[in-house]
Amino acid sequence: MIESQKYAIVDIETTGHSPATGDRMIQIAIVIMKDWSIVKKYSTFIHPGKPIPLFIQDLTNITDEDVKEALPFEAYAHTIYELLHDVIFVAHNTDFDLSFLQAEFKRAGLPKWHGKKIDTVELAKILFPMSLSYKLADLASDLNIPLQSAHRADDDALATAFLLKECWEELLTLPLVTLEQLHKRSFRLKTNLAQLFFDALVIKRNKALTDEAHIYFHKIAIRKMAPTRKDNDETVVYPQTTEQKLALLLKGIPNFEERPQQFQMMDSIWEALNYKEEHVIEASTGIGKTMGYLVPSIFYAKKTNQKIGISTYTSHLLDQLMQNEIPVLEQALGQPIKIALLKGMNHYIDIEKFEKQLKTLDDSYDETFTVLQTLIWLAKTETGDLSELNVSGGGQLLLDKIRKTELPKTTMPLYDFYSRAIQNSRQADIIVTNHAMLLSDLVRNEQIFDSLGGWIIDEAHQFIQAAINQDEKIFTYMNWKYLFGQIGLNEDEQLFHKVRRVALKKQLLNSQTLDQLEKRYIQMVHAFDTAIAALIREVKAFDKRQQKQLQKIALFITDLELAHEVFLKVSLSVQQWIDDATSLIKQFTSGVEELAPEHEHLIGQWQYIVNEFTIKLAEWDEVFLQQDANYSCWLELDRRSVPGSIQLYKKPIDVTSTIGKLFSPIREKAAIVWTSGTLTVPSNERFITNQLGIHASIPIEKLHADPGYYDGAEVYIVNDMPDVQAVSQSEYIEEVAHAVTNAVRMTDGRCFVLFTSQDMLRKTVDLIHESELLNEYMIFAQGVTSGSRMRLLKSFQKFKHSVLFGTNSFWEGVDVPGDGLAAVIVVRLPFSSPEEPSFKARASYISQQGRNSFTELALPEAIIRFKQGFGRLIRSSHDKGVFIVLDRRIETKSYGQQFIESLPPISIQKLPLHSMVQSLQNWYNDKR
């Protein structure tokens, strides 16, 4: 019989993060749970002895008024201490809650609390490895746990208690072998999860149930492949009329609103698929583009028994398709849609590599943690796509070691997820993939793509960037140095030392062979260091010639006078090391019948390093030794960290021929439909289609939402901003900061402020912080606030009064529906910097052909980005928002009108700043 555990689930709210600098508690809640039932609740406000900061009030909804009658912590200390007697302490981030509480106990003269602890963040990360976020509110939403007011201690503690119980119930669903593996490795975790895992293990062993849901590879439980869904025998007929389309979609979407342009898009694609034609559709926000191409694609696939391929740019769009639109259409059709998500091989896990990884016992915390996440994920995942896993930075290193890199040597085993994906795609109606997969795998002409009846290329304007990225080569100094460090000399006790020790002990290799390999390593590192030193000398010589002393340098390799033989020597010495290192593997493995598991893992690590150097060598040759007129190659470094900051990029200048090679065979036998919200610009309608290699005879069908869709939008052009070339940068930034603070205050925040320069963004944010005019707002700034783009966006959405300052990547692909976004402020028209190397190379290429690089590249690219920026604002017919342009060039330059013409037909007002602020205030008050 398992002894019942007693848990105290604790949450606190505070004035800040550091009790040492005077931060204090403002609320505490404790939920006592025994036998997985709540037996007691305790909650109280606490007076912090000082005003609660405004941003904490915004976060917690706890005001100075709420704590006015409360007492200081000392008055409650003994009660709280007693409640925590003889319990397991549980919190969602114990490092914060428990350490803060310990500091308060100490201040109140009480002894340090001792006992076991469980962190539900650590626990949830292991048990729900596919969750996008481990914030309490996000987990509560995912798991249907009630959470009335996030960041209120009473509600948070209760939600954490339910989360703990949910985790326990999840443990009991896991296969026995998975629980055994969890328990075996759990002693390396930061909190006391081992007992929890053991309790679940005992229950599971006593039940001794048969497991029908998994297959097993050694001691790894893997979810069985789902059986292929059967079509019902009903034939489906494409809905030709408006009434038929309405009747169909109302079955899946009860409140579906008819949009004539969406129905027109369906008919255009239906016709293109049937006649195997190429077609281009610009479908603006508001017409329902995704459903517009899905309906005809599915009907065509079912009618002809030919697959349709759908390619999108981002994984976000792939997920949206699979989770939102497909289930709706299945309900409307009344039958399953067989859909396969297919990605490149290295997206999938290699189970055999992972099984070898399990045999090693010298893992770091990050690796141990990621192993546990992966074991649980394998019992659940249907795809085996490693991108489903939400792991730490250190965990990513482990995932890179267990990626699939080659096909099975014999049959496709049942546990192989890449084989499953191929099998699924052979039986599918629709194959969903991304542009990168199309570009890399279609070239190989895998059998699966031969029978496709047509392709829908969504976000078609991004296909150009995907083609550039696909052919991009990057050299980074730090990557090479990291790999050198992994190998090391014998005295360094790294991988070479370990391999040498085993090889000599088992008499698999003699010392002369190993000494020769070490000598090759020394030669390789020396040649590399010599080449890098030569590169740095050339950069300094170039600087001297240019008389420039910039902190960050970006310059073309063609500007440098590099000695070819120095870089060739690196290539030759690396190849010699690879040859000898590969020979070592052969001698090591042929010397014995079967390697011990730990030795097999060691050779696996060695093989991984050899493979990495093989890739690095190809990159080195392409960057330093191969000249190609269709590529630009440039170097970037920061003077403050040389050589560590050295990076080299090699990108294609023109990808039209690459895209052409890909689609030429498809054009001969299947339809291709290109679609996007932004495919044209005024006065250069075929800017995108020309780069995609689409023949000039193929028209662009433009489908735009009804003007009423944009009734909630206003555009303001501030016409008294200074000319950036007529004033100093600091004066201009002062004016920008003044305009932004005014606009933010008038709309209560919820603004995107879009820049084209990271430097200007940083200086503007610094000035706003100094002014303290937006102190009551949460400010998130790309490149200033830590975190990825999606993390910044999520943080922005969590606060009522927040402002997000962003550069290039926030101009498109970011959705903030509804009231989450009130204003988009464009600081500068989004022209690429003329000194940005990739842009500079493409502009130079156009100029050399006697064409105008401004009208043919700079202007249309900027307009596309501008249209995308506006697209962030209105995501549905109910959205309301203002689009504010601070760049006076939109009014003073001849090309400015093209930016205005690129916007939907909506109200545009040109006003001085003070009038704009007044108008904005009136607009916002009316909206409320």
CA distance to 226, 336, 343, 445, 474, per residue, from 420 (Å)? 10, 19, 12, 19, 32
Least confident of 105-114, 193-202, 440-449, 473-482: 440-449
pLDDT in tens, 379-392: 999 889 888 888 87
| pLDDT for 679 beyond 50 | yes
Helix (H) or strand (E) holding 55: helix 54-60
* Mean pLDDT, rounded, for 471-488: 89
Largest CA distance in the chain: 86
Report the pLDDT value the prediction gives residue 53, as an integer from 0 to 100: 83
| Gap between the Cα atoms of 9 and 7, Å rounded | 6
Report the pLDDT value the prediction gives residue 230, as an integer from 0 to 100: 66
The percentage of the chain sitting over the pLDDT mark of 90, rounded to a whole number, equals 38
Write phi, then psi, for 87 (nearest 5 degrees).
-130, 165
Q: How many Cβ atoms from other residues are within 10 Å of residue 927's Cβ? A: 14
pLDDT grade for 323, boundaries at 50, 70 and 90: confident
What number of CA atoms fall less than 13 Å from residue 443's CA on the CB side?
13
Question: For residues 469 and 641, is the Cβ–Cβ distance under 8 A?
Answer: no
pLDDT grade for 444, boundaries at 50, 70 and 90: low
Give the residue, 178 or 724, on which the prediction is more confident: 178
Tell me if residue 66 falls in helix, strand or coil: helix
pLDDT in tens, 400-426: 889 988 776 656 677 888 888 888 888
Closest C-alpha among 139, 104, 131, 94 to residue 23: 104
What number of CA atoms fall less than 13 Å from residue 757's CA on the CB side?
12
Query: If you count DSSP H runs as helices and E runs as strands, how many of each does the chain have, helices first?
Result: 36, 25
Instruction: Name the token pair of 317.
Output: 């769009």
Report the pLDDT value the prediction gives residue 363, as an integer from 0 to 100: 67
Helix axes 176-185, 365-378, angle to 10 degrees: 170
| pLDDT for 736 beyond 50 | yes
| pLDDT for 10 beyond 90 | yes
CA distance to 3, 170, 185, 199, 466, per residue, from 206 (Å)? 15, 17, 21, 11, 54
CA distance to 88, 295, 561, per residue, from 32 (Å)? 10, 52, 72
Angle at alpha carbon of residue 551, lines to 545 and 554, rounded to 5°: 65
Report the pLDDT value the prediction gives residue 884, as an integer from 0 to 100: 94
Distance of CA 619 to the CA centre of its chain: 25
Report the pLDDT value the prediction gives residue 362, as an integer from 0 to 100: 59
| pLDDT for 56 beyond 90 | no
pLDDT in tens, 287-305: 888 899 999 999 999 899 8
Write phi, then psi, for 815 (nearest 5 degrees).
-110, 125
The percentage of the chain sitting over the pLDDT mark of 70, rounded to a whole number, equals 93
End-to-end CA distance of the chain: 61
pLDDT grade for 762, boundaries at 50, 70 and 90: very high
pLDDT in tens, 596-606: 777 777 888 88
Report the pLDDT value the prediction gives residue 868, as an integer from 0 to 100: 86
Average of per-residue pLDDT values in the chain = 86
CA distance to 297, 302, 308, 444, 846, per residue, from 462 (Å)? 21, 29, 20, 22, 20
Query: Which distant-in-sequence residues (6+ apart) come within 8 Å of 517 by Cβ?
Result: 496, 577, 580, 581, 584
| Gap between the Cα atoms of 856 and 498, Å rounded | 58
Helix (H) or strand (E) holding 826: strand 823-826
| Gap between the Cα atoms of 24 and 812, Å rounded | 41
Instruction: Kindly calculate the radius of gyration of the chain based on its CA atoms and give it in whole angstroms.
Output: 31
pLDDT in tens, 650-669: 989 989 988 998 898 888 88
Q: Rounding to the nearest 10 degrees, give the CA dihedral for residues 288, 291, 294, 300.
A: -100
Report the pLDDT value the prediction gives residue 234, as an integer from 0 to 100: 67
pLDDT grade for 316, boundaries at 50, 70 and 90: low
pLDDT in tens, 82-112: 999 999 999 999 999 999 999 999 988 999 9
| pLDDT for 169 beyond 90 | yes
Query: Which distant-in-sequence residues (6+ apart) come within 8 Å of 660 by Cβ?
Result: 693
Closest C-alpha among 643, 633, 628, 637 to residue 557: 633
Buried b (16+ CB within 10 A) or exposed e, 754-780: bbbeeebbbbbbebbeeeebbeebbbb
| Gap between the Cα atoms of 837 and 491, Å rounded | 43
Report the pLDDT value the prediction gives residue 560, as an integer from 0 to 100: 85
Helix axes 365-378, 120-127, angle to 10 degrees: 50
Give the residue, 553 or 840, on which the prediction is more confident: 840
| pLDDT for 594 beyond 80 | no
Which amino acid appears at position 109 of this protein? G
pLDDT in tens, 705-719: 887 888 888 999 999
Write phi, then psi, for 27 (nearest 5 degrees).
-160, 145
pLDDT grade for 763, boundaries at 50, 70 and 90: very high
Instruction: Name the token pair of 306.
Output: 């030919």
| pLDDT for 486 beyond 70 | yes
Report the pLDDT value the prediction gives residue 3, as an integer from 0 to 100: 60
| Gap between the Cα atoms of 385 and 403, Å rounded | 9
Report the pLDDT value the prediction gives residue 1, as an integer from 0 to 100: 43
| pLDDT for 468 beyond 80 | yes
| pLDDT for 817 beyond 80 | no
- Give me the helices (H) in 275-401, please: 289-304, 315-320, 326-333, 351-358, 365-378, 393-401
pLDDT in tens, 274-285: 999 999 999 988
Burial (0-12, 13-18, 19+ Cβ within 10 Å), 594: exposed
DSSP 912: -
Report the pLDDT value the prediction gives residue 409, as an integer from 0 to 100: 60
Q: Rounding to the nearest 10 degrees, give the CA dihedral for residues 299, 303, 309, 315.
A: 40
| Gap between the Cα atoms of 777 and 785, Å rounded | 14
Instruction: Name the token pair of 797.
Output: 């959405």
Buried b (16+ CB within 10 A) or exposed e, 869-880: bbbbbbbeeebb
Q: Hunting for tokens 């949450």 — which residue is that?
A: 11
Closest C-alpha among 309, 338, 567 to residue 433: 309
Closest C-alpha among 166, 162, 160 to residue 10: 160
* Mean pLDDT, rounded, for 148-160: 84
| pLDDT for 441 beyond 70 | no
Report the pLDDT value the prediction gives residue 921, as an integer from 0 to 100: 83
Burial (0-12, 13-18, 19+ Cβ within 10 Å), 189: buried
pLDDT grade for 566, boundaries at 50, 70 and 90: very high
Closest C-alpha among 917, 728, 922, 897 to residue 825: 917
Question: For residues 441 and 344, is the Cβ–Cβ distance under 8 A?
Answer: yes
Q: How many Cβ atoms from other residues are within 10 Å of residue 261's Cβ? A: 21
